[in-house]
């Protein structure tokens, strides 16, 4: 695995630059996570304030430095606006597997940026990190996210019923995965 912990190379797609996340992206994180419609499928409470978003960004930066996750902020080449974040997280080196995370500002959704960015990090995960398996855990009601990974060749392997506890209820996780090759 050539890319070691802390190493997050800048990646390019036709319309986006993907650069390593930084604490200064807390405002973007807050803009996404304070939007109730955005967090609906994530099973998290909307972020209360910028401080909470900054604490979460700090956690992500530490996860990249210490545990080998890769996390990028998406910057639109035309104009330089930051529109979202994507990550390869829960990296399991022994089994060469990891999970995907991706989210966009609602104002930037529906333009294909999500698919463009996720396609690029999937390629990075297989070709440059040497991963064998990439997984996405998706709220079964999150149609757009399911379509996104299906379009990239992920298969629905099944659904973990009642596997996530949130605010007194239990929720399902649809498991999608793609294998190298
Ligand atoms: C899930 C999420 C990342 C999808 O991002 P997105 O950019 O809207 O998704 P896509 O890249 O698939 O593009 C969506 C639409 O743009 C359309 N589109 C417009 N221009 C396009 C272009 N140039 N290229 C590709 N698609 C384009 C596509 O047709 C697609 O429509 P469809 O969803 O009806 O098929 C985003 O909705 C989001 O952040 N949701 C909240 C957080 C979340 O749920 N994250 C996932 C957790 S598992």
Model confidence pLDDT, tens digit, residues 115-144: 999 999 999 999 999 999 999 999 999 999
30 lines ligand 1 (CB under 6 A): no
Model confidence pLDDT, tens digit, residues 29-78: 999 999 999 998 999 999 999 999 999 999 999 999 999 999 999 999 99
Which residue, judged by its Cα, is nearest atom 5 of ligand 1?
114
Which residue's entry shows tokens 């990190």?
129
For domain 11-179, give the fold: Aminopeptidase (3.40.630)
User: Domain residue spans in the chain?
Assistant: 11-179
Helices (H), 15-93: 26-33, 36-39, 50-67
Q: Give the pLDDT score at 87.
A: 98
Q: Give the pLDDT score at 124.
A: 98
Q: Give the pLDDT score at 5.
A: 72
Model confidence pLDDT, tens digit, residues 17-32: 999 999 999 999 999 9
User: Which DSSP helix (H) or strand (E) runs through 151?
Assistant: helix 143-151
115 lines ligand 1 (CB under 6 A): yes
Q: How far is Cα of residue 58 from the mean position of the Cα atoms in its chain?
A: 16
Among 74, 107, 111, 151, name the best residue to mutate to test ligand 1's pocket (greatest count of ligand atoms within 8 A of Cβ).
111
Q: Give the pLDDT score at 3.
A: 56
pLDDT exceeds 70 at position 1 = no
What spacing in Å lies between the alpha carbon of 120 and ligand 1's midpoint?
Answer: 14
d(CA 32, CA 28): 6
Q: How far is CA 70 from CA 65, 147, 164, in A?
A: 9, 23, 24
Cross-sheet strand order for the sheet of 133-138: 11-12, 16-20, 70-76, 82-92, 97-104, 133-138, 169-179, 155-166
Which residue's entry shows tokens 């996340």?
21
């Amino acid at each position: 695995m050539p890319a070691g912990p802390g190493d997050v190379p800048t990646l390019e797609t036709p319309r986006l630059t993907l650069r390593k996340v930084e604490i200064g992206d807390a405002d973007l994180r807050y803009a996404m996570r304070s939007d109730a419609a955005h967090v609906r499928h994530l099973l998290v409470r909307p972020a209360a304030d910028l401080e909470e978003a900054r604490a979460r960004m700090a956690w992500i930066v530490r996860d990249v430095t210490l545990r080998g996750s890769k996390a990028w902020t998406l910057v639109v080449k035309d104009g330089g606006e930051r529109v979202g974040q994507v990550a390869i997280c829960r990296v399991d080196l022994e089994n060469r597997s990891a999970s995907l995370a991706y989210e966009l500002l609602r104002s930037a959704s529906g333009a294909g940026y999500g698919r463009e960015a996720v396609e690029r990090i999937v390629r990075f995960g297989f070709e440059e990190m040497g991963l064998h398996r990439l997984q996405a855990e998706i709220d079964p009601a999150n149609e757009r996210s399911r379509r996104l990974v299906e379009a990239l060749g992920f298969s629905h392997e099944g659904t973990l019923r009642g596997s996530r506890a949130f605010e007194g209820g239990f929720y399902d996780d649809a498991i999608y995965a793609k294998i190298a090759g």
